[in-house]
Amino acid sequence: MMKLHEHQAKGVFADAGIPTPSSQLATSVEEAVDAADSIGYPVAIKAQVHVGGRGKAGGIKLVEDEAEARSAADAILGMDLKGLTVDSVLVEEAVDFTDELYVGVTMDRSAGKPVAMVSARGGVDIEEVAAEAPEAIVREHIDPAFGMHPYQARQAAFDAGLGEVATDVARVLSTLYDLWAAKDATSIEVNPLMVTADNEIIAADAVMNVDDDALFRHDDLEAMEDEAADDDLERKANQYGFDYVRLSGNVGIIGNGAGLVMTTLDIVDYYGGAPANFLDIGGGAKAERVANALDMVFSDENVDSIVFNIFGGITRGDEVAKGINEALGQFETIPKPVTVRLAGTNASEGREILNTELVTVEETLESAVQDAVENAEGTN
């Protein structure tokens, strides 16, 4: 799931005709101050990182003059927000509002169809509203065969009690749905959608997440992706074509198949270890992919030991073993201890081939994980 930054999503929304505040992206304090001066005070200075609750974490500041703008930009740029460094801020016109609404579209996976949502209680985390007062969110399921009918958008807005602004909000919701469908979004939302004293509406924030599997037909969005990636290793995984998630532990995990890799993580935890990552190299086990995967995990400073867990299905275990030997042979020294567990077709043949000078070989998933956990503990 590719997340667009706020400023990217706002660009997409504005192009589709949704009103947004004037804003400029800035990557330095000077740029931010210049932007604030040209927009006119008060402005909001907003960290562009993919972190929920930016505001509470100090990533959004409202400033009244140049001096405040300078100090806010200085504080936010370079700030660490939940592990991510802030490289850019959006400097944005501060909007006077009387109400904050929520509008969004997402996939309801249990229904197998999209759902549009409207709430008069925007401006706070909508999932909190959903938990506390589910009736405050109006949901309208959309038939993917026909798309969202205009009446559905109106019905959602009127049912949410939006009265005078209902038809304008309905128009925004229709546009959001059209974007959702046209851009292969997985979720899209405006929170808050601000209502001004004279009943103008304006999108004060913008969220848009796009289906990775559909990026092939959206060159424009794919071009935003590099910019949007937040983590060096995740960017690298993208290049290698791995499914990769960084975690906080020190046991590196490589395996084939999402369910099996997740299970390996869980078993690391079960034996008292802490997984450093999820890395699925997918089907097959060509030497190059094995080498790339090891390269990634070796280069993660947090990793102290690695468990390499392959269940050879159609792929034969002896071929996997050759791939591992070849891949590890490319390293002059093995920087971190690697425990390999090979199972499935021709697994015993594979285990015999594996170069035990480079890796430790274990027969079962459980023993391999235990070995890797012990290795990781030993380094501390």
How far apart are alpha carbons 167 and 130 in whole angstroms?
Answer: 24
Task: Candidates 57, 62, 79, 181: give the one binding other proteins (CB under 8 A).
Answer: 181
- Tell me the window of 251-259, 325-333, 351-359, 372-380 that interacts with other proteins (CB under 8 A): 251-259
| SS3 label, residue 227 | helix
Known catalytic residue: 352? no
Site for other proteins, residues 34 to 53, rule: CB under 8 A:
52
How far apart are alpha carbons 42 and 27 in whole angstroms?
Answer: 20
Q: Report the residue number, 56 or 109, with the smaller CB distance to other proteins.
A: 109
Q: Report the residue number, 16 or 115, with the smaller CB distance to other proteins.
A: 115
Spell out, one character per residue from 125 to 144, where the chain touches other proteins: x when CB under 8 A holds, - when not.
--x--xx-----------xx
How far apart are alpha carbons 190 and 84 in whole angstroms?
Answer: 23
**Nearest Cα to 254, choosing from 291, 229, 220?**
291
β-sheet with 89-93: strand ranges across: 23-26, 89-93, 43-47, 60-63
Task: Candidates 92, 99, 280, 318: give the one binding other proteins (CB under 8 A).
Answer: 280
Task: Candidates 102, 177, 308, 311: give the one binding other proteins (CB under 8 A).
Answer: 311
Q: Give the largest CA-CA distance in the chain.
A: 77
Task: Candidates 96, 134, 135, 145: give the one binding other proteins (CB under 8 A).
Answer: 145
- DSSP annotation string for 38-77: HH-SSEEEEE-SS-TTTTTTT-EEEESSHHHHHHHHHHHT
Other CB atoms within 10 Å distance of the CB of residue 162: 25
Which of these is catalytic: 102, 177, 244, 319? 102
How far apart are alpha carbons 166 and 204 in whole angstroms?
Answer: 18
Q: Report the residue number, 69 or 166, with the smaller CB distance to other proteins.
A: 166
**206 interacts with other proteins by CB under 8 A:** no
**263 interacts with other proteins by CB under 8 A:** yes
Task: Candidates 40, 270, 299, 331: give the one binding other proteins (CB under 8 A).
Answer: 270
Task: Candidates 7, 10, 154, 336: give the one binding other proteins (CB under 8 A).
Answer: 154
**258 interacts with other proteins by CB under 8 A:** yes
How far apart are alpha carbons 196 and 242 in whole angstroms?
Answer: 46
Tell me how far apart the terminal alpha carbons of the chain are, to the nearest angstrom: 35
Known catalytic residue: 271? no
Helix (H) or strand (E) holding 36: helix 29-39
Task: Candidates 30, 87, 151, 227: give the one binding other proteins (CB under 8 A).
Answer: 151
Binding site for other proteins (CB under 8 A): 1, 52, 107, 109-110, 112-114, 127, 130-131, 143-146, 149-151, 154-155, 158-159, 166-167, 170, 181, 184, 186, 211-214, 216-217, 243, 245, 247, 255-263, 265-270, 275, 278, 280, 311-314, 343-345, 364-366
Catalytic residue ranges: 102, 189
